[in-house]
A and B are shown apart, each in its own frame.
Chain A
Amino acid sequence: MKKVSNNEVERLYRFTREHFVVYYDVQTELVDHLANGIENQWQDDPGISFEQALQKEFKKFGVYGFSDVVEKRERAMEKRYFKLILKEIITVLTRPKVSVGLLLIFLLSNFFLSLNNGKDAYLIFLFIVFCIVLIIAGRRAVIRRKAKEGKKVFLFETMIENAGGYFSLVWIPFQFLNFMDASEGGFINWMMSFLIAFYALTSYVCFYRLPKNKEDILKKVYPEMKYF
């Protein structure tokens, strides 16, 4: 039976990239699927060219092509990433150093927010949050460049580097400035101190713990990595 050659496998990878599949793990699964389909067509009609068979196979993915597969894969991986964050948070919270540290952050935040210039203290926190935004933006740019250069970019790796959906949460503290203007101390200060402690905890997990253990996490998620 006629088989897909090495060059044709390369062409299939290129084909998936041309159809906006950036992640190597998704590309690999699609390449095998397309190759199987093409070989199956060759069995019925050995005369059909590789390109013709490829187009026929691609049509089976419907009008949206690979985009639906990629989008749903991203959503599934997001879910997995958040489960991982939750697991890590529980793990680190059981460490006295972390839990005492968080309690200190919580109490100190409340102390500074209660001062007359409490809003200035909060602005310092917002500045830190803004720096986090810059870090995420920088990491995103690195991943984009890597993908552009044709290097292997894994979806879960991107999630770890981009800190998942953290980007959309990062703007919440800025909204709290309005609350500060509208109310005087008390409950709102406790709430904001809690928010600051929560940010400290999630940032520790998303920006330190997970990137530090990235290689081990990726090996578990992607068994195919043993072939690279």
Chain B
Amino acid sequence: MSNSNLFKGSLSTIVLKLLKEEGRMYGYEITQKVKDATKGKFKITEGALYPTLHKLEADGILEVEVEKVDNRLRKYYRLTEKGTTETAKKISELEEYIKTLQEVIFLKPKIG
């Protein structure tokens, strides 16, 4: 996406939505999933993803579980109960925002 600022504001909502659908995911998996789903138009940078995940974890929206995969430890994130409610709220806020934005952008001037 050419203007990453537009994307930045919705990063946490995208992450929450993905976790709601997938159940649990790890950091790298999230970056790849977003890249694949948007055919490369959206690209989550590593420097933005982890701070978002850590903030959501500190706020009690996400919880973590760790598993040994191959020869290393993998940290999975999943929604908490509070996180599930928060996700629904954030998605409806984003939908409302998109609707309003569309109304503003496609505003037809009144004649007469």
Contact = CB atoms under 8 A, between A and B. Distances in A.
Given A32-B28, A37-B28, A77-B58, A5 B46 contact: no
| Most chain A CB atoms below 10 A, which of B27, B54, B55, B75 | B54
Contacts of B109: none
Interface in A175-228: 222-224, 226-227
Interface stretch (B14-22, B61-69, B79-87, B95-103): B61-69
Contacts of A80: 58
Q: How many interface residues does chain A have, given as a range? A: 20 to 34
Interface string A18-30: 0000000000110
A76 B45 contact: no
A69 interface: yes
B47 A9 contact: no
Interface residues of B, number: 26
Contacts of A69: 46-47, 50-51
B75 A29 contact: yes
B51 A73 contact: yes
B71 A224 contact: no
Given A62-B45, A69-B46, A224-B66, A32 B54 contact: no
A226 B27 CA distance: 21
A72 B54 contact: yes
A35 interface: yes
Given A72-B51, A77-B58, A79-B58, A227 B73 contact: yes
Contact of B54 (A9, A36, A73, A222): A73
Contacts of A73: 50-51, 54
A35 B46 contact: no
Contacts of B28: 32-33, 36-37
Given A77-B58, A227-B68, A32 B50 contact: no
A222 B71 CA distance: 19
Contact of A76 (B29, B54, B64): B54
A167 interface: no
A37 B28 CA distance: 8
Interface string B16-41: 00000000001111001000000000
Contact of A28 (B32, B46, B54, B73): B73
Contact of B74 (A32, A37, A76, A222): A32
Contacts of A3: 70-71
Contact of B71 (A5, A37, A64): A5
Given A32-B75, A33-B27, A77-B58, 18 more contacts: A3-B70, A5-B71, A28-B75, A29-B27, A29-B50, A32-B74, A33-B28, A33-B46, A40-B32, A60-B46, A69-B51, A73-B50, A76-B51, A76-B57, A80-B58, A222-B66, A224-B73, A227-B68
